[in-house]
A and B are shown apart, each in its own frame.
Chain A
């Protein structure tokens, strides 16, 4: 099937809202090149389970493309129209399986040395379509909080090395009930600025996560059931006589939330998101620190919330994959010091991903070494690249980041 042959019935396999949107834009979809359309459909097919911010972006992207005259559209699609595609790609069911098409397209672009041109074209397209989106005022500045180093007593690693140039480093933080103090910030912001998926608590500790009222919560520990089911499936791939990575990826992509015990009836959007963390992330299935980092990244990128609170716990020690995947069958040995180093870098990445969003110039970010005196804070109220050795109460830092303008 070529794009020009599409009709509304082509999208019968799509979920209801995605199907309706495709039908409403069928004239546009027929004009898009095969090197681009399946990538758009890959996003559209999941519309029913997207976060509000993602839906807004998809609606805006379609509006932008629809607004272009024939010559403008041809120019916007120029790079994608000129890609040399393999005939086999045209024969795949790219309408109903756009993810598989995209994966095959990517491999083809790499092997034919077209990936750089594609990448440049994609970046230019995203810049233009994003610029056309109506700017949305935020009800408050964005705030990120990361708590790292659970269970570490003595540390020789130089913390916050990546973040120090961007914020103020505090060496004498008084933090009695520090975790509760920080969680309180999350709760207050969720109460003050209620919005769907606008405030998140992400937990990587081994214990049950605290209740974060008003926030969307996900945790490595509470997903132990779905992870165990998934790990069993992964282990079967691993132990097969011949391992086929493409079959493995396809198999992972086709898993439904219910199959691994995620409650899709209660909150289908969240269930799909959690599934994506476990099936699309690398290492998220077996390492708690990787899970929290990837989850925080995806939350910022996809949900674009006002508040993200990421608490990093301890991951299991490195082992062969078959041992890592048997986590549910034995108590894993933990690596607190390695987890601290992982979390330190992950906190930096969480800040980087916050900075990619609109309103970055007003955003604030705090990292605290749990039960220790070290913290770093970034934001308009804080000096960059400076160190404070003055005794400072965590509650005072919290007051500053919560009120930052």
Chain B
């Protein structure tokens, strides 16, 4: 039953993409030639998956015009990405980052148990600390850049920037009222909202890294519409100033769905759609990144179906049903086949070994397998 349900989801996505974008089935395996190997990688994950009903189904396509019309025609699209782990956003993102289904408490401020992609990348490649960064939506993700694994851990991780915390620190003197829309919280429990306690020291350090004064950061933030917009702004600033080889951005606006407000959930999807396209455009315009960057976009998992009586439709991801476990991934960049669909199932933990093949590190403790179509 599980296989049938999962394949049905995959088949619907494939059919729809073939209709809308003319995407073809993947023609066969081929390894990337040396010249095609990316020099830089950007990964975008959606915290708070978007269901097919609101994206790839006919009624949903109006919400993702940029993904459908601009990105998918340039991408290899994996229609069946299964997450067999815990469906909580921090622990699920940590599982993608380590390539192992992590089992810690989703709401605990703990590092992953297994080495992260950033540690593999930096240790094997002898990369400096400035070469990989994470931009994450809330304090709950503060420890995602570095595991507590004995063979890796401290000193080998990525820098983690939490834009909301920076903004809080920048507004320490007051004036929070005008920025309330950027300090919105995570709704994963009725009231899960880690305290935003940015420090001036941290802010000053970030201002130095981003080459952006506190005043300029606050002034620019005022023109942004949501936390995800702020995350993408920070990511682009990092690209301009440090040009990291590995950049990981997690978007989270969609997760407003936990409040039960369908219209806000839809707005979150539409914003993610636009921000992904903007990020890809920024990559193409930046000489440090253009034509040498691979971008991966994937939700961390899905959301509950309308039909499962144990859930409440789009609001949560608690049932563990196939719709909440099965999502998709698109890959764009030099050497990646364009406008093709891969039907076979892959797992979200396969991403890290795939990056290992592309970037030349050994994700030796990962439980996933390299995805041959893009590795």
Contacts and interface: CB of A to CB of B under 8 A. Distances in A.
Interface of A: 107, 110-113, 115-116, 119, 161-162, 234, 237-243, 245-246, 248-249, 252, 281-287, 289-290, 293-294, 297, 315, 318-321, 323, 335, 337-339, 341-342, 344-346, 348-349, 352, 356
Given A297-B312, A319-B184, A349-B306, A282 B194 contact: no
20 contacts: A112-B103, A116-B320, A162-B306, A238-B191, A238-B193, A239-B195, A241-B195, A245-B107, A283-B187, A287-B259, A289-B261, A290-B259, A290-B260, A293-B260, A315-B261, A318-B181, A318-B259, A339-B263, A341-B263, A342-B262
A282 B189 contact: yes
B266 interface: yes
A243 B193 contact: yes
Nearest to B104: A111
A107 B88 CA distance: 11
B347 interface: no
A242 B197 CA distance: 10
Given A321-B193, A338-B263, A349 B313 contact: yes
- Range class of the B interface residue count: 35 or more
* Interchain residue pairs A-B with the least CB separation, the first 6: A290-B260, A283-B259, A341-B263, A338-B263, A345-B262, A111-B103
A337 B197 CA distance: 35
Given A113-B101, A341-B262, 15 more contacts: A107-B105, A110-B86, A115-B320, A162-B306, A240-B195, A248-B191, A249-B189, A287-B260, A318-B264, A319-B181, A321-B184, A342-B260, A342-B261, A342-B263, A345-B314
B29 interface: no
Contacts of A281: 190, 260
B319 interface: yes
Which label, helix, strand, loop or mixed, suits the secondary structure of the B interface?
A: loop
A252 B189 CA distance: 12
B228 interface: no
A245 B192 CA distance: 6
A318 B256 contact: yes
B86 A283 contact: no
A290 B191 contact: no
Most B Cβ at <10 Å: residue of A238, A239, A240: A238
Contacts of A349: 306, 312-313
Contacts of A342: 260-263
B180 interface: yes
A150 to B, nearest CB: 15
Nearest to A321: B185
B371 interface: no
A356 B310 CA distance: 12
Contacts, number: 123
Contact of B307 (A284, A286, A352): A352
Contacts of A243: 191-195
Contact of B262 (A238, A242, A297, A346): A346
Contacts of B263: 335, 337-339, 341-342
B319 A234 contact: no
Given A115-B320, A243-B194, A283-B187, A323 B180 contact: yes
Contact of B316 (A112, A282, A284, A341): A282
Nearest to B316: A282
Contacts of B264: 318, 338
B58 to A, nearest CB: 9
A42 to B, nearest CB: 15
B143 to A, nearest CB: 15
A282 B315 contact: yes
B258 interface: yes
B306 A285 contact: no
B183 A320 contact: yes
B175 interface: no
Contacts of A293: 260
A115 B262 CA distance: 27
Contacts of A344: 262
A242 B195 contact: yes
A339 B185 CA distance: 20
Contacts of B259: 282-283, 286-287, 290, 318
Contacts of A119: 310, 319-320
A287 B264 CA distance: 12
A290 B105 contact: no
B184 A318 contact: yes
